[in-house]
Amino acid sequence: MAYELDPGSAPRRDTLLGILRAAISRMSPRERWGWAVMSLGFAAIVAAALHLTSATIGGPIHEFKERRTYTEVKTAAHRAFPATLALGLAGLAIAWLGARLRASGRRSDGAG
């Protein structure tokens, strides 16, 4: 087959890993840092969503009679909201800064 590699041969450039390596090698260091900072910001946003979700779930329920009332869930969500908002906005700001860093890396190469 055309896609089989000989043992010990170098990886082909048309594989996903080869395509990613080629794309990353064409980026400037600022663009790479921009992608990394944006990824960190997106991770912070996901962490904020999981923080609120874990506060409202409240742990495992073993029996139906041990379930939490609506008021308990609502109170837990209201207590967790300030930290969730702060973490989400921080993630948004970090992602925005990463995008600006990535864009400035493109401009410094003369491509835009």
What are the pLDDT digits (tens) for 15-72?
888 888 888 888 888 899 999 999 999 999 999 999 999 998 877 777 888 788 899 8
Give first-to-last CA distance, the chain, whole Å. 42
Read off the pTM.
0.73
Q: What is the pLDDT of residues 79-109, one digit of tens each?
A: 999 999 999 999 999 999 999 999 888 765 5
Q: How far apart are alpha carbons 43 and 39 in whole angstroms?
A: 6
Can you tell me the distance from the alpha carbon of 65 to that of 84, in angstroms, rounded to the nearest whole number?
A: 29
